[in-house]
């Protein structure tokens, strides 16, 4: 099979020695140099990076002005100059082994949805300081530092990300990230608005997931970095401060429970939700009870109630998470054209409930963690659509993942990768009776 056209995008800032070593490592790749382009994206260095006069592959340098640490914007700028169908992102201090690109690019060459993270390993900086060692040579045992245990455990638990879910963005590292251009562009690419260390790769990864990206960890794509992982390089207190800032930046951008817990909804039309729920009205008391039950199950959801309600019922649904269906004839607002905005504002799951539902057991109340865990299990199993039925087999609710919706947007009318049909009783839910005891529901005895 012909090797793919690959563009390696490298963010750079005042690190010529690191760049020289990286270029040497790329020159030693077993991927054909004739099908390789390297784009150096300078994040505003006082002096531009210097490239050797003779390189075996095509190269380019792009620059923007220095307005702080803007690695995300630099990568986005680099992609504009990239010509390959496969985009390989490598940080400037990485040293890929000779087989790195061949291993990392195999899946993106075969599928436009592939998102591959390589194996970032760490070496003792004294190996570089001593001289004599060259990229492409084996790293001696004494210079091999321990790999981050949390990443190794995550890849093992997820079967190398084959059983990924919407929280798996945390295991996608931009220092060793390779993606098919198709899914990268579908997701909108790196966000240039990020300023400061960290978070931009996780935010991109979550959009890649929503757009249907097929995550994979490729342990044969090995690249070395001098020094320990971030957590081992920094003073613990300073590291915690940096990571807390990163968490605060990501919370309004990522709806997964690992980004903001289960109850923090956050506001704004462009703030993603874990679930967007549409509820069909069926009597005032039943509808209000069903809305309350669904919001207990999904505390951060956006809830739209379809159908006419009396004034008293409508007054009970003035929660900012709840919207009542617009009157007939009002035009729908046009959706955003920027895929970054579209994917951020979309929910991970759309839940269409035909008529109000409630927990089946008397006195039982929804447990948000149970609902969240169910969605994660569905995602890991590749389920993109769920049909929840009553005892008669009629569909009470339909759950559709953003991945299925985006795939349909991209490819047209295609069936979801996997549809699950399950009885509401098996999930511990049932339809609300026509005239429920609303006081008993609220009081906790019914």
C-alpha–C-alpha distance, residues 191 and 273, integer Å: 19
pLDDT, one tens digit for every residue, the chain (446 residues): 789 999 999 999 999 999 999 999 999 999 999 999 999 999 999 999 999 988 999 999 999 998 888 999 999 999 999 999 999 999 999 999 999 999 999 999 999 999 999 999 999 999 999 888 888 889 999 999 999 999 999 999 999 999 999 999 999 999 999 999 999 999 999 999 998 887 899 999 999 999 999 999 999 999 999 998 876 666 888 888 988 999 999 999 999 999 999 888 777 667 888 999 999 989 999 999 999 999 999 999 999 999 999 999 999 999 999 999 876 555 555 455 677 888 878 899 999 999 999 999 989 999 999 999 999 999 999 999 999 999 999 999 999 999 998 877 777 666 667 899 999 999 999 999 999 999 999 999 88
What are the start and end residues of each CATH 3.90.550.10 domain in the chain? Answer: 6-250
CATH number of 275-443: 3.90.550
C-alpha–C-alpha distance, residues 70 and 188, integer Å: 17
- Kindly state the DSSP code that residue 173 receives in the 8-state scheme: -
C-alpha–C-alpha distance, residues 277 and 294, integer Å: 8
C-alpha pair distances (Å), 407 with each of 184, 187, 202, 419: 14, 12, 21, 14
> Count of CB atoms within 10 A of residue 120's CB?
19
6-250 belongs to CATH 3.90.550.10: yes
Buried-exposed string 429-444: b where 16+ CB fall within 10 A, e elsewhere: bbbbeeebebeebeee
The helix (run of H) or strand (run of E) holding residue 60 is strand 58-63
**Tell me, what's the pLDDT at 327?**
62
**Burial environment of residue 234 by CB neighbours within 10 A (0 to 12, 13 to 18, 19 or more):** middle
Phi, psi of 107 (to 5 degrees): -70, -45
What are the respective helix, strand and coil percentages of the chain, to the nearest 5?
35, 20, 40
C-alpha–C-alpha distance, residues 24 and 54, integer Å: 11
**Tell me, what's the pLDDT at 414?**
60
- Under 8 Å between Cβ of 431 and 357: yes
C-alpha–C-alpha distance, residues 402 and 385, integer Å: 10
C-alpha–C-alpha distance, residues 319 and 279, integer Å: 15
- For residue 117, the SS3 value is strand
C-alpha–C-alpha distance, residues 158 and 164, integer Å: 6
C-alpha–C-alpha distance, residues 162 and 45, integer Å: 39
**Tell me, what's the pLDDT at 406?**
85
Show the tokens assigned to 422: 């399950």
Rg of the chain over all Cα atoms, to the nearest angstrom: 25
C-alpha–C-alpha distance, residues 285 and 19, integer Å: 67
C-alpha–C-alpha distance, residues 191 and 176, integer Å: 18
The length of the chain in residues reads 446
C-alpha–C-alpha distance, residues 138 and 151, integer Å: 23
Q: Which residues pair with 12 in a beta bridge?
A: 42
Reference 114, options 222, 37, 7, 218; nearest CA is 218
């Amino acid at each position: 099979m012909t090797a793919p056209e690959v563009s390696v995008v490298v963010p750079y800032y005042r690190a010529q020695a690191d760049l020289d070593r990286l270029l040497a490592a790329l020159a030693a790749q077993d991927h054909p140099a004739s099908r390789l382009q390297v784009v150096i994206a300078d994040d505003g260095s006082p002096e531009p990076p210097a490239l050797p006069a003779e390189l075996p592959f095509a190269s380019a340098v792009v620059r923007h002005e220095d307005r702080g640490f803007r690695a995300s914007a630099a990568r986005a700028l680099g992609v504009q100059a990239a010509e390959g169908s496969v985009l390989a992102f490598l940080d400037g201090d990485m040293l890929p082994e000779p087989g790195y690109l061949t291993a990392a690019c195999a899946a993106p060459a075969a599928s436009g949805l592939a998102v591959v993270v390589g194996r970032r390993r760490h070496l003792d900086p004294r190996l570089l300081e001593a001289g004599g060692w060259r990229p492409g040579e084996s790293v001696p045992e004494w210079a091999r530092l321990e790999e981050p245990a949390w990443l190794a455990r995550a890849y093992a638990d997820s079967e190398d990300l084959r059983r990924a879910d919407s929280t798996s963005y945390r295991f996608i590292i931009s220092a060793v990230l390779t993606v098919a251009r198709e899914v990268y562009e579908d997701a909108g690419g790196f966000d240039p608005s990020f300023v400061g260390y960290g978070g931009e790769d996780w935010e991109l990864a979550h959009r890649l997931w929503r757009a249907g990206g097929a995550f994979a960890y490729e342990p044969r794509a090995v690249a070395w970095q001098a020094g320990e992982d971030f957590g081992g390089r920094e003073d613990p207190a300073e590291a915690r401060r940096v990571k807390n800032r990163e968490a605060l930046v990501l919370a309004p951008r990522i709806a997964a429970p690992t980004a903001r817990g289960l109850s923090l909804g956050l506001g704004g039309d462009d703030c993603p939700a874990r679930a967007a729920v549409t509820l069909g009205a069926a009597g005032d008391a039943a509808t209000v009870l069903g809305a309350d039950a669904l919001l207990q199950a999904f505390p951060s959801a956006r809830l739209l109630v379809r159908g006419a309600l009396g004034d008293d019922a409508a007054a009970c649904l003035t929660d900012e998470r709840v919207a009542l269906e617009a009157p007939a004839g009002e035009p729908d607002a046009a959706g955003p054209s920027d895929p970054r905005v579209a994917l951020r504002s979309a929910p991970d799951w759309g839940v269409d409930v035909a008529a109000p539902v409630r927990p089946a057991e008397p006195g039982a109340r929804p447990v948000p963690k149970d609902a969240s865990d169910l969605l994660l299990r569905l995602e890991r199993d590749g389920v993109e659509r769920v049909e929840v039925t009553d005892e008669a087999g009629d569909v009470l609710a339909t759950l559709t993942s953003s991945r299925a919706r985006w795939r349909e947007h991209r490819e047209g009318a295609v069936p979801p990768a996997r549809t699950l049909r399950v009885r509401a009783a098996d999930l511990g839910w049932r339809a609300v009776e026509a005239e429920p005891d609303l006081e008993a529901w609220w009081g906790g005895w019914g």
